[in-house]
């Protein structure tokens, strides 16, 4: 039986907590965050910050990679192939280009819980040589740790027995309103002065474009996601924001700040990746994804009901040698070691 046919059956769930009332629930399938609940001042119950399916065993009914660990390579690799040391590797994809690791990426794999404590869990997945066409046996460990200041730290360690392109991230779908609603009213600020324009297939063209005075400018001043929504030809190709932004600062400063529509909850995001994909949830209920029933009100999630901020290397970096210094390849002597931090405030 394939990993895809087993996906989300009999899930194992672990919940980590802190003394402030915040909790995070993680599922073994896809090392997926199925819930982040954050205490909000003046509210009797913590607020749910993520989109999700009510029954974890039915997670496979959504096709949007909800809150899952993405691998071996997050985002896209053009034409389902790359070359390492003169050897071409063909990837197993259902489409013209490989997206999020191929036909059966890490989001559809059952990880194993290796350790747990009150505020931390570690999961592991072993991907065999040739899995989805990628070279080498790849062992990934994912650690989620919740701190007392309401920060969720996510640490990735990916070791491969051969040279391999790899990029691991989490495809979290955030809606800080805490209910099934449009996310276009969220206010965001990015520590990014440039983004990568993409072609009609969402493959970067190789150009680096400044965001100043454009619809992609979330740096000059914070603004709502909807303020300039669809006011650029780049958004016409992807029905909204779905683009790589280049991070200006360092891992000690947030690359994104997000505030809910009612201003009751905010989030800062940190990473040591050089870029992040900002996605405005344009295909949550569109283009073959089908309707996904929201767990809070039982109604379908509409498009743009969540925002994704996916830290990563540059998409299609195997075909962008001009940016090689920002996108290291994984080797037996140089594993992938990256982190993401989501910090919440009320």
Catalytic residue numbers, as ranges = 171, 310
Q: Tell me which residue has tokens 């297939």.
A: 201
Q: What are phi and psi of 246, to 5 degrees?
A: -90, 130
d(CA 1, CA 283): 29
- The continuous run of DSSP H or E covering 140 comes out as strand 138-146
Q: What are phi and psi of 223, to 5 degrees?
A: -155, 165
Length of the chain: 346
Q: From its phi and psi, is residue 202 left (phi > 0), alpha (psi between -120 and 50) or beta?
A: left
Cis geometry, peptide bond prior to residue 132 (ω within 30 degrees of 0): no
- Burial class of residue 297, CB neighbours in 10 A (0-12, 13-18, 19+): exposed
How many other C-beta atoms are found inside a 10 Å radius of the C-beta of residue 265? 22
């Amino acid at each position: 039986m394939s990993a895809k046919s087993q996906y989300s059956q009999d899930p194992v769930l672990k919940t980590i907590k802190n003394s402030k009332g915040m909790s995070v629930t993680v599922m073994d399938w896809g090392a997926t965050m199925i819930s982040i609940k954050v205490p909000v001042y003046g509210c009797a119950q913590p607020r749910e910050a993520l989109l999700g399916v009510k029954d974890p065993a039915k997670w496979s009914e959504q096709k949007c990679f909800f809150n899952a660990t993405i691998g071996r390579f997050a985002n896209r690799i053009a034409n389902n192939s790359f070359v390492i040391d003169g050897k071409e590797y063909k990837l197993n994809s259902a489409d013209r280009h490989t997206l999020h690791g191929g036909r059966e990426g890490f989001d559809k794999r059952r990880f194993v819980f290796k350790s747990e404590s009150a505020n931390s869990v570690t999961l592991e997945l072993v991907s065999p040589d040739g899995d989805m066409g990628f070279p080498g046996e790849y062992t990934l460990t994912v650690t989620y740790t919740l701190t007392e200041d309401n920060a969720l730290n996510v640490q990735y360690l990916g070791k491969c027995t051969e040279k391999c392109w790899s990029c691991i991230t989490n495809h979290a779908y955030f809606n800080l309103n805490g209910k099934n609603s449009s996310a276009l009213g969220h206010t965001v600020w990015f520590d990014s002065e440039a983004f990568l324009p993409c072609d009609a297939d969402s493959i970067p063209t190789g150009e680096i474009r400044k965001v100043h005075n454009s619809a992609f400018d979330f740096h000059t001043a914070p603004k709502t996601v909807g303020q300039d929504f669809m006011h650029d030809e780049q958004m016409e190709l992807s029905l909204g924001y779905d683009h790589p932004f280049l991070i200006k600062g360092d891992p000690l400063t947030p690359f994104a700040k997000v505030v809910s529509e009612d201003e009751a909850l905010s989030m800062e995001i940190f990473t040591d990746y050089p870029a992040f994909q900002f996605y405005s949830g344009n295909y949550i209920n569109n283009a073959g994804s089908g309707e996904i029933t929201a767990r809070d009100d039982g109604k379908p999630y509409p498009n743009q009901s969540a925002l994704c901020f996916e830290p990563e290397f540059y998409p299609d970096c195997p075909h962008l040698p001009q940016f090689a210094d920002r996108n290291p390849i994984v080797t037996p002597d140089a594993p992938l070691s990256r982190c993401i931090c989501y910090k919440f405030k009320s």
